[in-house]
């Protein structure tokens, strides 16, 4: 971790625009200086013109109080500079006021840089040869930090000079930050952070005196800066409410987090807010209680964002990262590679929804009110995602938590992360998605889908794996997959009105995964129709329903794939002895088509939908056997024929909500 001053590199070159201010323009401090000038009994030096101008930066946060550039009149020489310094020292000494000359200038202008109090400033303004005095201020390098650039670049959100300009500032959203202390006087977040009256933290290990929150606000200050800092923040207009659940060592308890979530829930019930994000930049061992509290929070309409964890491990082993209703965020570096921290690094796996910048992130430091520091971790990544959610919610206040997630996934950058450091299974189920800012026009009602992987089943013939969609999503297809390549079959069941995708294991198979394709769009409704008996096709009933996916299982065959039929596109075709399930969906202006891509011999072929269309299902077709592998990141799947299968074909179902303008239909 490194500290930088307020003029730290990595920012837009925003040379502070100074201005000459008339008396009515001065705030209280500067009015006092003018009053001193008017009331002081010292007359201007002989031959001197009226008091010199006093200039200052337009942006108060960039000013450096007490440090001034004294610039002499045109035609002055070095001797005039030294003479003016001596006279100012004498006047300051006569009043017992400190004065420190830091630098002299003799190039484009003649003058000096000086630290002095306001009562000496008014004397300097009346010195002969002084043309004007400018308060010193910060300048910044000409580019946004890499993390903010990364959020905007995919969709052209940066301006020509590289400054950070999101679609809006997130000002209509509130973020509840569950963390330690926050230095609210920091210039990055001043006026943006409310310290709530909630405080539930454990005693510190090995510390006799329990420190106050104001004495340990490093992590929280950095988090608040990433979310809504004036220069380092993602959503710079969002309000941040601190709910303190971590002590000065960054440690809390599950019970304290539960109490904090209850506090937030009670606050929102008494003072409803349309757009709310709860940020959980911490992690603990798997906790059913903590997951349940997060799930309940999401059910109330709140977007909950959590850190995936920094243990280079499966995020499903930790809470709240393992809760399916939470948006769980892993961390990448500036090269879009997995963040690494010595022996640790970002967590991964099916419980991670997406990744975000989390390495070498510059934000507010609690060391001083103008200090910045660099930190790394999935806490920082989660703060970026929370900021993106706040920006989106500010212009889409009626969006549900799952709609926010689907939009974030839709506009993430896919397949840029190198997963070679992960195991084969982890590479398969970890989404290769890096967060980016959705464009200002949003989704325009398009169909949004994501793949939801189950945990791996056991290896006996009775073991099953189950995948479910989140609240507010509809399941448009169900697939079973095994790393061995054997298709063991899947079925779709309904519990409590919700479809479940069930993949079946078998002897000799190293476990199975169930993969549900979960989607949202306005008015989407899906149901499942089973084949009347084994060997007969399952089909959709009613002209308004579209076939979006096929599932099948045979008790006698290891390869029991079912596929949509090309004619009419309303039936799932099966072989003798195979039971099939057809997923049938309807929505206003929904349309679906089949896309077939063939491979030669046993070559692998990728099947993906054209731009504007969304993949809802994929199946493999071969004269022998074929292997279909879903893509954890979204809109494609891979199919390859088994050895000697003489080629294979991938059959994809591509759907969309029909646009208002004519578009190309996939063939």
Question: Is the torsion defined by CA of 614, 618, 621, 625 positive or negative?
Answer: positive
Of the residues 374, 379, 454, 467, only one is catalytic, namely 379
Q: CB under 8 Å to 610, separation ≥6 — which residues?
A: 595, 654, 664, 666
Active site (annotated) includes residue 231: no
β-strand pairing of 130-137 with 53-57: parallel
- Residue 89 phi/psi, 5-degree rounding, is -60, -45
Contact 371, 212 (CB under 8 A): no
3-state SS string over 580-646?
EEEEEEECCCEEEEEEEEEECCCCEEEEECCCCCEEEEEEEEECCCEEEEECCCCCEEEEEECCCCC
User: Do the beta carbons of residue 602 and residue 640 sit within 8 Å?
Assistant: yes
Rounded to the nearest 10 degrees, the angle between the axes of helix 254-270 and helix 288-299 is 10
Closest CA to 437 of 511, 370, 385, 489: 385
Whether the CB-CB separation of 652 and 615 falls below 8 Å is answered with yes
CA atoms within 13 A on the CB side of 351: 25
Strand partners for 328:
306
Tokens of 435: 């967060």
- For residue 325, the SS3 value is coil
Quick one: DSSP state of residue 427?
H
Buried b / exposed e along 434-462 (16+ C-beta atoms within 10 A): bbbbbeeebbeebbbbbbbbbbbbeeeee
3-state secondary structure (DSSP) of residue 148: helix
Q: Which of 122, 219, 487, 504 is catalytic?
A: 219
Q: 361-364 and 648-657: which strand pairing?
A: unpaired
Expressed in percent and rounded to 5, the helix, strand and coil fractions of the chain are 20, 35, 45
Cα Rg of the chain (Å, integer)? 31
**597 in Cβ contact with 615 (< 8 Å):** no
Contact assessment for residue 395 and residue 403, using Cβ atoms and an 8 Å cutoff? no
Beta carbons of 74 and 108 less than 8 angstroms apart: no
Cis previous bond, 320, omega within 30: yes
300 in active site? no
Paired tokens of 493: 């069941």
219 is catalytic: yes
Which is nearest to 594 in space by CA: 611, 570, 612, 629?
570
Sheet holding 636-641, edge to edge: 604-608, 636-641, 626-630
Strands (E), 139-283: 174-179, 193-199, 239-244, 276-280
Backbone φ and ψ for 503, nearest 5 degrees, come out as -105, 140
Tokens of 23: 């008396």
Q: What are phi and psi of 571, to 5 degrees?
A: -125, 145
* Chain position carrying tokens 């294991």: 505
Place of tokens 């993430």: 412
Instruction: Give CA–CA dist 551/537, Å, rounded.
Output: 11
Find the catalytic residue in 136, 169, 179, 217: 179
Q: How far apart are CA 478 and CA 485, in angstroms?
A: 17
Catalytic (active-site) positions = 179, 219, 379
């Amino acid at each position: 971790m490194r500290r930088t001053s307020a003029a730290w590199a990595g920012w837009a070159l925003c040379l502070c625009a100074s201005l000459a201010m008339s008396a009515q323009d001065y705030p209280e401090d500067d009015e006092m200086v003018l009053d001193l000038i008017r009331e002081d009994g010292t007359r201007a030096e002989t031959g001197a013109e009226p008091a010199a101008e006093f200039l200052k930066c337009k942006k108060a946060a960039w000013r450096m109080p007490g440090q001034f550039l004294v610039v002499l009149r045109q035609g002055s020489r070095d001797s005039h500079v030294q003479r003016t310094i001596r006279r100012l020292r004498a006047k300051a000494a006569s009043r017992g006021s400190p004065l420190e000359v830091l630098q002299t200038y003799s190039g484009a202008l003649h003058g000096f840089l000086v630290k002095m109090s306001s009562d000496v400033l008014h004397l300097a303004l009346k010195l002969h040869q002084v043309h004007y005095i400018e308060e010193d201020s910060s300048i910044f390098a000409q580019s946004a930090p890499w993390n903010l650039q990364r959020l905007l670049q995919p969709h052209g959100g940066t301006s020509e000079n590289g400054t950070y300009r999101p679609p809006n500032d997130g000002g209509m959203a509130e973020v509840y930050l569950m963390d330690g202390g926050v230095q609210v006087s920091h210039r990055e977040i001043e006026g943006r952070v409310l310290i709530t009256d909630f405080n539930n933290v454990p005693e510190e290990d090995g510390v006799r005196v329990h420190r106050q929150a104001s004495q340990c606000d490093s992590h929280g200050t950095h988090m608040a800066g990433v979310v809504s800092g004036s220069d380092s923040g993602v959503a710079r207009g969002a309000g941040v409410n601190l709910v303190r659940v971590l002590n000065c060592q960054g440690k809390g308890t599950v019970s304290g987090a539960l109490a904090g979530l209850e506090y937030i829930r009670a606050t929102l019930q008494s003072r409803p807010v349309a757009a709310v994000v709860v940020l959980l930049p911490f992690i603990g061992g798997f906790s059913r209680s903590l997951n349940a509290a997060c799930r309940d929070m999401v059910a109330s309409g709140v977007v909950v964002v959590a850190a995936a964890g920094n243990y280079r491990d499966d995020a499903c082993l930790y809470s709240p990262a393992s809760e399916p209703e939470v948006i769980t965020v892993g961390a990448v570096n500036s090269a879009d590679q997995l963040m690494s921290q010595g022996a640790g690094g970002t967590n991964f796996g099916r419980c991670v929804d997406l990744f975000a910048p989390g390495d070498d992130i510059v934000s507010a430091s609690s060391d001083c009110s103008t200090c910045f520091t660099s930190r790394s971790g999935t806490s920082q990544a989660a703060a970026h995602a929370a900021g993106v959610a706040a920006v989106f919610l500010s212009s889409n206040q009626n969006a549900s938590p799952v709609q926010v997630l689907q939009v974030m996934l839709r506009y993430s950058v896919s397949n840029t992360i190198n997963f070679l450091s992960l195991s084969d299974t982890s590479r398969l189920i970890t989404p290769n998605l890096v967060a980016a800012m959705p464009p200002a026009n949003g989704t325009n009602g398009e169909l949004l889908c994501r793949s939801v992987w189950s945990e791996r089943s056991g290896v006996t013939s009775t073991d099953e794996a189950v995948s479910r969609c989140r609240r507010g999503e509809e399941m448009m297809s169900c697939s079973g997959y095994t790393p061995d390549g054997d298709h063991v079959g899947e079925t779709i069941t309904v519990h409590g009105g919700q479809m479940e995708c069930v993949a079946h294991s078998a002897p000799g198979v190293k476990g199975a995964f169930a993969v549900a394709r979960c989607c949202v769009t306005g008015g989407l409704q899906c149901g499942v129709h089973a084949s009347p008996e084994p060997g007969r096709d399952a089909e959709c009933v009613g002209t308004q329903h579209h076939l979006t996916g096929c599932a099948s299982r045979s008790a006698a065959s290891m390869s029991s794939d079912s596929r949509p039929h090309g004619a009419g596109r309303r039936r799932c075709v099966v072989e003798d002895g195979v039971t099939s399930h057809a997923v049938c969906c309807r929505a206003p202006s929904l349309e679906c088509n089949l896309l077939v891509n063939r491979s030669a011999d046993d070559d692998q072929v990728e099947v993906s939908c054209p731009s504007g269309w969304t993949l809802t299902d994929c199946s493999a077709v071969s004269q022998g056997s074929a292997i279909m592998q879903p893509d954890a990141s979204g809109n494609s799947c891979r199919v390859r024929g088994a050895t000697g299968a003489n080629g294979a074909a991938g059959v994809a179902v591509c759907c969309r909500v029909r646009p208002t303008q004519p578009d190309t239909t996939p063939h």
